[in-house]
Structure 1
Amino acid sequence: MDVDKIKAIDIHTHAEVSCNDPEDPIMGKFLDAASVYFKADRKRPTIPETIEYYRKQNIAFVMFTVDMESGTGIKRIRNEEVAQFAKDNDDIMMAFASIDPHKSKFGAIEARRMIEEYGVKGFKFHPPIQNFHPYDRMAWPIYEVIAEYGLPAIFHTGHSGMGTGMKGGGGIRLKYGQPMMVDDVAVDFPDMKIILAHPSWPWTDESLSMALHKENVYIDLSGWSPKYFPKQVIADANSRLKHKMLFGSDFPLIKPDKWMAAAESAGFREEVMPLIMKENAAKLLGLK
C-alpha cells in the first residue's frame, strides 16, 4: 500500500455479506433494526462491492466481521474470507480478524493462524454483542497472541446501534460497552494497541481520559456523524489528543464521504485533519 497516494484510511468498516454463505436469519433481524436506526439501505454491499467503492474514493480501509456466535447464535462470516480479499487487494484493503472471546485458548490458536497465514493487521471485539466483560480472563489467551505480535485491537464502546429498537435490545447488554472496562486490559497488555471505537456515548469522557492516560489507547471516530460529536471530543481532537484520534466511518451504515462532509463544519482545526484522516492510522498500523 502506497500511503502517500491515498487520501485517507478508514479504520472501521464491516463485512456483513458473505460471498460463500447465505445470510443468517437471526442476523437478518439485527440488520433490519440497524437499517431503521441508521436510516441505511437494508441491502448491504458485498466485500467486492466495498473494495470497488473505496478504490474509487481513493481511501484505504480496515474491514472485519464480528464473531458473536456465543452471544447471539449467529453464524459468523469467516475471518478467512475477509482476509483473503485483503491479501488480494492489499493496495487498498486491510483485514482485522474477529474471534469470539468465549473460544479462549481455541480462539488463540485461530488468532495466531490468522496472523501467520493470512497476515491480518489487528483484531475486533464487540463486548456487548459478544456478551463478555473485556477483562474476563477467558479472553486473555487471545489478548496474549495479539500482544505478542504487537497488533492493535478495536473494542466497541458506548451505545450499540445493533439491537436498538428490538425486544430486549436483541439481548445485547450495553454495560459491556463502558470504556473503563477496557482500562485493565490496557494496563496488563501494554504491547497491544487498543482502539476505543466510537465517541463512547454515554461514557465519552471515560474514553478521552483513557486515551490521555494510556500510551497504548486510541479512539476511532466511527459510528456517528461528526455533526453530533460531543463538544469535548472536538476539543481534545484539536489539542491534547490530536495524535490519538482515528478516522472511521462504520461503513456501510455510515459512508466515508458523508462523514468527511460533516467533519468540515464540525469544528476540527485544519492542521489536525491530516492526522485524523490518515497519518495517525498509518503510524498505528505500521504503514509508515
Structure 2
Amino acid sequence: MTIDVTSLDAIDVHTHVHTSVRETQGPGDGDDRFAAMAGYFKAGEVRKFTVPMIAEYYRERNMAAIVFGVDSMYLSGREQVPGNQEIAEQAALHADVLIPFASIDPHRGAAGVREARRLIEEHGVRGFKFHPTTQGFFPNDRMAYPLYEVIAEHGLVALFHTGQTGAGAGTPGGGGLRLKYSDPMHVDDVAAEFPGLRIILAHPSFPWQDEALAVAMHKPEVYIDLSGWSPKYFPPQLIQYANTLLKDKVLFGSDFPMITPERWLGDFAKIGIRDEVRPKILKENAARLFGLTGEA
C-alpha cells in the first residue's frame, strides 16, 4: 500500500499527533497547554487526534499528510505521547495517505542518535521534526550534528520549526520558552555544513521572514512550508517569492489540528497565488521532495 499521488488533491506536510491509540480522550496532563495553544490559533474547541483518526480525516478529503509528534523532554520533563514508534507503526497501517516523521530531542545525545537510526531502519520513518524553541537548542549547536548525519546518510528530511510559536504564547513568561532558537539563520549553518541534507523551514518565519526566504534562495536543499498561519496573513514578500523564485520550493502545510486544511485552503484560494503555481504548492513540490513521483 503506497500513496497514489495522481489521485490526491493535496499533500499536507505539517500535521501533529497529540494522543495515543492506547489512551482515551478526556482530561489529562497537558490539556491546559493544548487549550492555550488552541486559543492562540483562534481554533475554538479542538480535539486531539490519533494517527488512525488523522488518516481517516485526510482520506475523506482526498489528501495525504506527514504526521509527527514533538520530543521536548529536556525542557518539559515529559516523554512524547504518543511515541515515535507508535506513530510510525500506525502510519504504516495507513500508508495510502500518511508519511511518518519522528522527533528526537537533540539533548538525548548518543542514545537519541541510536534511536533515530533504529526508527529509520526498522520502522521506515521518512524524516525528523525539530522544534528549537520547545527543545531549547540552536539548530547549529554541534550537539545536534550526529542526528543530522544520520538523517543525511539515509537521504531523509529534517523539518525545523521557525519563527513565532503557539507553544507557551500568552502564558506567563511564554512558558519559559525562548523564540531566539527558531531564527532560520541558525538553520543556514546546518544547510551549509550538510549540503545533501534536505531541510524544510516550517511556517512563515515571523519575525524573520526575509531571513527564511534568503536561506531557501541560497541553499538548494532548503524548502519552506506554509503551515501555522492562515494564508490571509502571509506577508507580501512570501507571496511574491512563492509565485516566482521559490515556486518549486514552497509546500502546503496546515498545522492540523490547530489549523484545519479546510480553513487553510479556503483562505489560500483568496490570495494572489498564480494558477500555475497553486498545484506546485499544494502537491507537486512535496511529491517530488519525498520521491512520490519517481523523481529523486
Q: Tell me whether 1:134 sits opposite 2:139 in the alignment.
A: yes
**Alpha carbons 2:52, 2:91 under 8 Å: kept:** no
Superposed, 1:96-115 pairs within 5 Å as 96-115=101-120
Q: Counterpart in 2 of 1:284?
A: 289
Would the alpha carbon gap of residues 131 and 15 (structure 1) be closer, same or farther in structure 2, given more than 3 Å must change?
same
Task: Name structure 2 gaps, 5 residues minimum.
Answer: none
Match of 1:61, SS state, is strand
Range with bigger deviation, 271-280 or 27-36: 27-36
Superposed, 1:111-260 pairs within 5 Å as 111-260=116-265
Q: Counterpart in 2 of 1:15?
A: 17
Q: Counterpart in 2 of 1:38?
A: 41
State the 4+ residue runs in structure 1 displaced beyond 3 angstroms: 21-26
Letter in 2 for 1:108: V
- Taking the aligned partners of 1:110 and 1:150, their CA distance within structure 2 comes to 17
Q: State the 1:20 CA deviation.
A: 2.3
Range with bigger deviation, 46-55 or 176-185: 46-55
Letter in 2 for 1:7: D
Letter in 1 for 2:52: P
- Taking the aligned partners of 1:112 and 1:21, their CA distance within structure 2 comes to 27
Q: Tell me whether 1:28 sits opposite 2:31 in the alignment.
A: yes
- Taking the aligned partners of 2:138 and 2:193, their CA distance within structure 1 comes to 15
Aligned-residue Cα RMSD (Å) equals: 1.3
- Taking the aligned partners of 2:148 and 2:200, their CA distance within structure 1 comes to 14
- Taking the aligned partners of 2:166 and 2:273, their CA distance within structure 1 comes to 25
Q: State the 1:86 CA deviation.
A: 1.1
- Taking the aligned partners of 2:144 and 2:103, their CA distance within structure 1 comes to 12
**Alpha carbons 1:24, 1:74 under 8 Å: kept:** no
Q: Which of these residues, 56, 59, 64, is aligned with residue 60 of structure 1?
A: 64
Q: State the 1:18 CA deviation.
A: 1.4
- Taking the aligned partners of 2:192 and 2:256, their CA distance within structure 1 comes to 30
Q: State the 1:144 CA deviation.
A: 0.6
- Taking the aligned partners of 1:118 and 1:180, their CA distance within structure 2 comes to 32
- Taking the aligned partners of 1:125 and 1:44, their CA distance within structure 2 comes to 21
Q: State the 1:44 CA deviation.
A: 1.7
- Taking the aligned partners of 1:250 and 1:190, their CA distance within structure 2 comes to 27
Residue correspondences, number: 288
Would the alpha carbon gap of residues 24 and 111 (structure 1) be closer, same or farther in structure 2, given more than 3 Å must change?
farther
- Taking the aligned partners of 2:108 and 2:18, their CA distance within structure 1 comes to 21
- Taking the aligned partners of 1:42 and 1:253, their CA distance within structure 2 comes to 7
**Alpha carbons 2:71, 2:103 under 8 Å: kept:** yes
Letter in 2 for 1:157: T
Q: State the 1:93 CA deviation.
A: 0.4
Task: For residues 87-107 of structure 1, give each alpha carbon's deviation from its aligned partner in whole angstroms, at most 9, with x where no partner exists.
Answer: 111000010000011012211
Letter in 2 for 1:19: V
Task: For residues 57-96 of structure 1, give each alpha carbon's deviation from its aligned partner in whole angstroms, at most 9, with x where no partner exists.
Answer: 0100000000001111122020011101111110000100
